[in-house]
Structure 1
């Protein structure tokens, strides 16, 4: 499909630069029925049914943005995917200042060697530490990798270390937040539990590639970045049991949906899973397991807008986005939410 089919106009004033307070006070555009209904996230438990299962991503965002120097040249690097033995793929600005063999000294005396250059400004660094040791160093010297569209006035003060982390965050490894999870609070979870809805976690370490624009003219020519994910045997068994009993699978965020759909069998059953996924969902995709999706509003011409268009219908999504603008909804990572139902024959 032509990428321009997923374009829409969004003035800067609609882009949220800070989360709602409290988190569950964000607005919710409900597309789970036939029409469009304006609600709040606080209404979400009322839209669920006993026997449903809510599946959320428990990844934790690490401080993956680094500032350093190669000689006198200033370098900004956003790590986006762990590879082998202390190596990380990163998006670097300006990429041309890094050559294979160069040493970059980041703030906090963290040194890395450039070992590979790839297309699209992607650079691979080797660090002296790996695994948990490197993560601990990043927590000391790095900063939160906020999306590039979040631009604030100098007077604004937001504790992004806390704000850009979901209440479910447990496993270090993401370099972007699974933002639908940012809307949850203890009191919201209490009401979901009281409604007889089961909950379980999976892990998808979200990469910075989620913010990368689709530069191809046709979706068939776009290359997705791979991300690592895991679904435990216990989570798979609980999801299968809920589905077999007539419950709906409700994915919290596109990251949960993509991992579920990556692992699901043709018959809609779910095995345990551990590995990488680069699943790119566009209209025409046949969903195997997810019934409802709680998600935020997504960027024009992005892979995530294509995903929600595949789930609910492109025209329905674009009409809903126009309604959201007219009603003053807040867009993107710190913005408001949508509840989408899988539509048969979505176009």
Structure 2
């Protein structure tokens, strides 16, 4: 498959820069896979396409304010740091994306928030990413919540006024560098309405990582390197999904992150095990 096969015209004026006050009032495009017919609806109309016995799979990851703006110690040069992945064996060390990279060689020190948080580049790893070791007083998550910004997609140019609007209403497990955007349009009321219809909801976790910010630079998309993302499917979610399939119901994944989770864990028979790991 060639990259140019996916080109299409997207007028800038049609890119919404600010979220609607009512999440479920966003637009919904429905494609009938059998006829190719397209309908334009409102998101809350999704209930018309669900039925009792279905299972909706949602990603309950929570976005962290992973974008930090600091100054290089000694020169005052502005440095942008995007937190990608916390090292499991070194909780004060993260794999990050830095801009501009040429100013951040091993040994470079970066100051954030007037010194509330400091970091030192200790290694350069795959694709030019850096490992940064942080020093701070207090609780890292609280400092990050104060100093960090939500890393919005590059086509969103307006400043985010409310951090919660870049979270799903069911966000629970912190770790994503970006939101699982397909889920942003659900409200708690809509989810309850869906459950009251007899639709089961299975919650899985996939932390959205670097891949969502990386452009595809190869012409043959099969040559594109997909970054790994951490996922977790617990027993409750696995049981719901497997029972739905056994009973002849439909399993409907909300967005690409839920889909990637299911594709990563399913065996050759489509059975979903209890599992965690990297895609």
Q: TM-score, normalised by structure 2?
A: 0.92
Contact 1:60 1:177 in 2 (8 A): yes
**3-state secondary structure, aligned to 1:127:** strand
Match runs of 1:203-242 below 5 Å: 203-242=205-244
Contact 1:66 1:107 in 2 (8 A): no
Mapped partners of 1:104, 1:136: distance in 2:
19
Contact 1:78 1:208 in 2 (8 A): no
Match runs of 1:27-106 below 5 Å: 27-33=27-33, 34=35, 35-71=37-73, 72=75, 73-84=77-88, 85=90, 86-106=92-112
Aligned to 2:124: 117
The yes-or-no answer on 1:137 pairing with 2:132 is no
**3-state secondary structure, aligned to 1:136:** helix
Q: TM-score, normalised by structure 1?
A: 0.74
Mapped partners of 1:245, 1:215: distance in 2:
43
**3-state secondary structure, aligned to 2:107:** coil
Task: Quote how far apart the aligned CAs of 1:121 are.
Answer: 4.2
Task: Quote how far apart the aligned CAs of 1:175 are.
Answer: 1.0
Match runs of 1:246-261 below 5 Å: 246-261=248-263
Match runs of 1:266-285 below 5 Å: 266-277=268-279
**3-state secondary structure, aligned to 1:177:** coil
Task: Quote how far apart the aligned CAs of 1:211 are.
Answer: 2.2
- In structure 1, stretches of 5+ residues that fail to align are 278-347
Per-residue displacement from partner, 1:149-192 (whole Å, max 9, x unpaired)?
1113xxxx752302111101111111100111110112211220
Mapped partners of 1:101, 1:23: distance in 2:
45
Mapped partners of 2:164, 2:252: distance in 1:
25
* Shift >4 Å, 4+ stretches: none
Mapped partners of 1:91, 1:125: distance in 2:
10
Q: How many residues align?
A: 271
Mapped partners of 2:32, 2:54: distance in 1:
14
Contact 1:81 1:227 in 2 (8 A): no
**3-state secondary structure, aligned to 1:260:** helix
**3-state secondary structure, aligned to 2:257:** helix
